[in-house]
Homo-oligomer: A and B are copies of this chain.
């Protein structure tokens, strides 16, 4: 068939899609295979067990997000606040992609909470770095938590904010980053 369309990526996309549409409990191997346009046997070839699929989903989420944050940070002028600003920007831009990716969290949490260990580690590191972003830790944490709140509410499709309100909240957060002791 296609030379190297990264079947693995297609499978991971399919799994995320299912989690968002029908819930993590219905993300079965057969359903993922069908959504990805291959057979169950084909899926098993790439991910020998469901756990491997879930691990790959979480791993890709962290990798992609870290990548995006790092890239965004690079594009900003140097300064202690750069990383926090990049965190905001990476979360707010391309919300749809972020939500898709984050479906992995729900899948992992539903199947085995331990699969979230790498995510725990990610947050541990991130909050540790928050201390050195030029803001008081509590202030930086509030900003970061607000971003996470919006992100998780959107993941669960619970956010009632319309486009304008969302943009307003984003602006307010950037204002809080800039105008703080």
Q: Does A97 contact B (CB under 8 A)?
A: no
Count A interface residues, CB 8 Å. 52
What is the copy number of this chain in the assembly? 2
Question: Could you say which residues of chain B place their CB within 8 Å of the CB of A160?
Answer: 120, 123-124, 126-128
Q: Does A25 contact B (CB under 8 A)?
A: yes
Q: Is the CB of A141 within 8 A of B161?
A: yes
Question: Could you say which residues of chain B place their CB within 8 Å of the CB of A113?
Answer: 20-23, 157
CB contact under 8 A between A110 and B116, given known A127-B160, A142-B169, A142-B172: no
Whole-angstrom CA separation of A26 from B50 in the bound complex: 14
- Pick the contact of A106 from B110, B120, B145, B171 — CB < 8 Å? B110
- Pick the contact of A145 from B123, B128, B141, B146 — CB < 8 Å? B146
Contacting residues of chain A (133-179) with chain B, CB-CB under 8 angstroms: 136-139, 141-153, 156-161, 165, 168-169, 171-173, 176
Q: Measured between C-beta atoms, what is the minimum distance from A55 to chain B in Å? A: 14
Q: Measured between C-beta atoms, what is the minimum distance from A47 to chain B in Å? A: 17
Q: Is the CB of B23 within 8 A of A137?
A: no
Whole-angstrom CA separation of A170 from B147 in the bound complex: 16
Whole-angstrom CA separation of A23 from B27 in the bound complex: 14
Question: Could you say which residues of chain B place their CB within 8 Å of the CB of A21?
Answer: 113
Q: Is the CB of A156 within 8 A of B23?
A: no
A to B CB contacts below 8 Å, 20 in the list: A22-B113, A23-B112, A25-B110, A105-B156, A106-B106, A109-B156, A120-B157, A123-B159, A124-B160, A127-B161, A138-B168, A138-B169, A142-B146, A142-B169, A145-B145, A145-B147, A146-B146, A147-B149, A152-B152, A152-B153
**3 interchain residue pairs of minimum CB distance:** A149-B149, A145-B149, A138-B172
